[in-house]
Amino acid sequence: MFPEDALIWFKDDSRAGSGTGSGIFGLRPNRSFSFPLGKFATVFQTEIYAILQCAFENIRMEGLIKISGFLFSLIARLHLRHLVARQ
């Protein structure tokens, strides 16, 4: 389904009484990172943080790469979902 050289990442984020956090898991490359974000970050902020950390990790590993329009449309959709949820 994906080209052999494709980087494949998954993200997860959460909010609980003890705080918020996000994480990324790489299928290719085989890496994972977690990021505690304190008590006051919103779920939207944890989602964006995970996406940005994934992009930064790709840049660190592969050098400067193109961040496609998909990333920006994903962030825009998350932002709209966040705004609708707040109403």
Q: What proportions of the chain, in percent to the nearest 5, are helix, strand and coil?
A: 45, 30, 25
In this prediction, residue 59 carries a pLDDT of: 78
| Residue spans per domain, the chain | 9-86
Residues constituting the chain:
87
Residue 60 phi/psi, 5° resolution?
-60, -40
pTM over 0.75: no
The pLDDT of residue 87: 62
Query: Comparing 16 with 73, which gets the higher pLDDT?
Result: 16
